[in-house]
């Protein structure tokens, strides 16, 4: 264990990356201020993972809750960090924070600049995912989903969104649109099992047949994706829905079409072929276009970081120092300002804030620990804080956001949600507004800072 007990650090974002990083930092002796936009911790583990995955979600909640009991971790939920937020990075520095780890995930939208992107009926997967997982304020937002929906992208997020559209919304048809071919899908067989019952097999076979010569051109076997579907069918979950689920390969959206009421009425797509240099495979437009009649479009192509957070952004991600002082397994966890071409010495990045929309909870955990390791190396090189007055720091923070929620508040909230679930005889209950959560916590608020 490194002796950094005299250091004060901040972790921004209590998703998996931030929570596991906080644990690592506290294990090494640092006092950790853990700021989180949402009242509850967990990030996408709480508000992203599909609601039906109760066992996984409950297991993660327990792990997070146990980590947050660590005396050196001081949780401040309901606290937005950023230039327009409750507290800025410079405010933290003024509080005596010596290093800041940003684990805010990917909260921005990956806009593509397509005509029609602002039409009614165009959504981005994250917002809908937050909605059906009851994250305020998305929980209260209305999502007007029509009967014919195109989901752009073929990763696991597409699979989750399609599952929601098939099982909960029971729409007529879902088209999953892929710019590349059947061999480049990124969803897993396991996730396909939840929706494969609704796959229109006649349409899928026709798509494979259509793609086969293009696949052969880049050395691919068109039977492989067919086998994946057949294997998924062996373990298909029953959806209880008549939705027709179709995949459309080798097509890129060029324009979202709208009617007189500014509502989506279709997609204009360009046919693609596949190209390869022997290492990677990419899509190339063929010039010919076709139309898909849909009334709703959902982009599931990954997300971007929040550009208003207060750190330089480069291509949807926070800028990272290309020459890190403390690389861990060749990864740079360090902030960077491209304008000055200098590192930002006290800023570190981890999880989806470092590399957007990549990997599972386990990877975010590893990334958080990697960043914490780099931070500990940095801390051991700088001057120590003589004395850390946690009560005074707590008072300062609460002056900025009196409704910040601490561990004691979380425990009260959890107990009330559990009580309601038992009373109603349901597997779990979640409040879906901040006002309701705040009211429960306020009713028995413990004034002490921990
Ligand atoms: C739809 C979906 C389903 C998924 N399903 C699975 C699954 O089944 N299994 C699996 O292993 N992985 C799954 N994942 C992946 C997993 O959720 C991520 O790998 C992981 O959550 C990323 O962790 P993170 O901490 O980097 O970011 P996040 O989980 O996004 O956490 C970011 C945290 O930062 C906070 N924050 C954001 N901005 C601010 C700010 N300005 N100030 C303060 N706090 C802020 C947020 O409130 C949030 O708590 C899924 C992802 C998605 C999108
Ligand atoms: N149940 C689960 O375990 C679960 C659920 C959800 C998410 N996750 C994880 O969360 C991470 C993110 O998932 P994700 O689905 O968002 O990302 P992903 O796996 O990277 O898939 C993104 C999809 O969008 C496409 N895409 C990207 N940019 C595009 C563009 N500009 N135009 C058209 N298509 C574009 C990609 O196509 P190309 O391949 O051609 O780039 C790909 O098909 C992944 O690691 C995933 O496994 C896991």
Q: Residue 4's pLDDT is what?
A: 45
Q: Residue 445's pLDDT is what?
A: 58
Q: Residue 36's pLDDT is what?
A: 98
At 171-204, the pLDDT tens digits run 999 999 999 999 999 999 999 999 999 999 999 9
At 295-342, the pLDDT tens digits run 999 999 999 999 999 999 999 999 999 999 999 999 999 999 999 999
Residue ranges, comma separated, of all CATH 3.50.50.60 domains in the chain are 122-299
pTM: 0.96
Ligand 1 site, CB within 6 A: 12-18, 35-38, 43-45, 48-49, 53, 80-82, 85, 103-105, 107, 129, 157, 160, 309, 351-352, 359-361, 364
The CATH class of the 122-299 domain is alpha beta
Residue 176: enclosing H or E segment and its boundaries?
Answer: strand 173-177
Ligand 2 site, CB within 6 A: 112, 152-158, 160, 178-180, 184, 186, 191, 300-302, 357-360
Q: Residue 5's pLDDT is what?
A: 53
Residue ranges, comma separated, of all CATH 3.40.50.720 domains in the chain are 8-107+304-443
Q: List, as one string, the DSSP characters of 310-350.
A: SS-EETTEE-B-SS-SS-BTTB--EEEETTTTEEEEEEEE-
- The list of the chain residues with pLDDT below 50 reads 1-4, 447, 449-450
Helix (H, G, I), strand (E, B) or coil at 305: coil
Nearest CA-CA partner of 75 in 67, 83, 86, 84:
67
Q: Residue 450's pLDDT is what?
A: 45
Spacing, Cα 106 to ligand 2 middle (Å) = 13
Question: For 337-373, b where at least 16 C-beta lie within 10 A, e where not — what string?
Answer: eeeeeebbebbbbbbbbbbbbeeebeebbbbbbbbbb
Angle at the Cα of 392 (from 388 to 396), degrees rounded to 5?
120
CATH architecture of residue range(s) 8-107+304-443:
3-Layer(aba) Sandwich (3.40)
Across the strands, what pairs with 122? Answer: 297
Distance of CA 271 to the CA centre of its chain: 30
């Amino acid at each position: 264990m490194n002796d950094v007990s005299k250091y004060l650090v901040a972790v921004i974002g209590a998703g998996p990356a931030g929570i596991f990083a906080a644990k690592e930092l506290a294990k090494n002796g640092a006092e950790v201020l853990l700021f989180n936009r949402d009242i509850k911790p967990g990030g996408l583990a709480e508000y992203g993972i599909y609601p039906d995955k109760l066992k996984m979600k409950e297991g993660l909640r327990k792990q997070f809750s146990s980590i947050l009991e660590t005396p050196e971790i001081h949780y401040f939920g309901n606290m937005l960090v950023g230039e327009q937020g409750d507290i800025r990075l410079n405010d933290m520095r003024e509080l005596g924070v010596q290093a800041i780890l940003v684990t805010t995930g990917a909260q921005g939208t990956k806009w593509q600049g397509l005509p029609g992107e602002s039409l009614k009926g165009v959504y981005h997967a994250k917002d809908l995912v937050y909605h059906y997982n009851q994250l305020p304020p998305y929980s209260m937002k209305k999502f007007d989903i029509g009967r014919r929906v195109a989901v752009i992208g073929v990763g696991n997020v597409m699979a989750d969104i399609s599952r929601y559209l098939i099982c909960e919304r029971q729409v007529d048809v879902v088209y999953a649109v892929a710019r590349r071919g059947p061999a480049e899908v990124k969803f897993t067989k396991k996730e396909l099992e939840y929706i494969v019952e609704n796959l229109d097999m006649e349409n899928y076979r026709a798509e494979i047949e259509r793609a086969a010569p293009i696949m052969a051109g880049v050395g691919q076997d068109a039977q492989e994706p067919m086998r994946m579907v057949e294997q998924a069918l062996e373990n298909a979950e029953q959806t209880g829905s008549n939705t027709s689920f179709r995949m459309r390969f080798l097509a890129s959206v060029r324009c979202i079409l709208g009617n007189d009421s500014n509502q989506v009425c279709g997609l204009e797509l360009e046919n693609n072929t596949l190209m390869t240099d022997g290492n990677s495979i990419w899509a190339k437009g063929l010039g010919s276009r076709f139309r898909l009649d849909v009334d709703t479009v959902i982009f599931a192509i990954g997300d971007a970081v929040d550009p208003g957070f207060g750190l330089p952004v480069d291509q949807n991600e926070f800028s990272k120092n290309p020459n890190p002082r403390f690389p861990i397994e060749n990864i740079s966890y360090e902030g960077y300002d491209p304008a000055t071409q200098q590192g930002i010495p006290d800023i570190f990045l981890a999880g989806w804030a470092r590399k957007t929309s990549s990997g599972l909870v386990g990877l975010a955990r590893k990334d958080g620990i990697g960043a914490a390791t780099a931070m500990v190396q940095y801390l051991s090189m700088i001057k120590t804080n003589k004395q850390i007055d946690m009560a005074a720091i707590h008072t300062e923070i609460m002056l900025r956001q009196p409704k910040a929620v601490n561990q004691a508040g979380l425990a009260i909230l959890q107990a009330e949600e559990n009580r309601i679930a038992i009373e109603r005889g349901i597997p779990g209950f979640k409040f879906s507004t901040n006002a309701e959560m705040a009211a429960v916590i306020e009713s028995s608020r413990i004034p002490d800072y921990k």
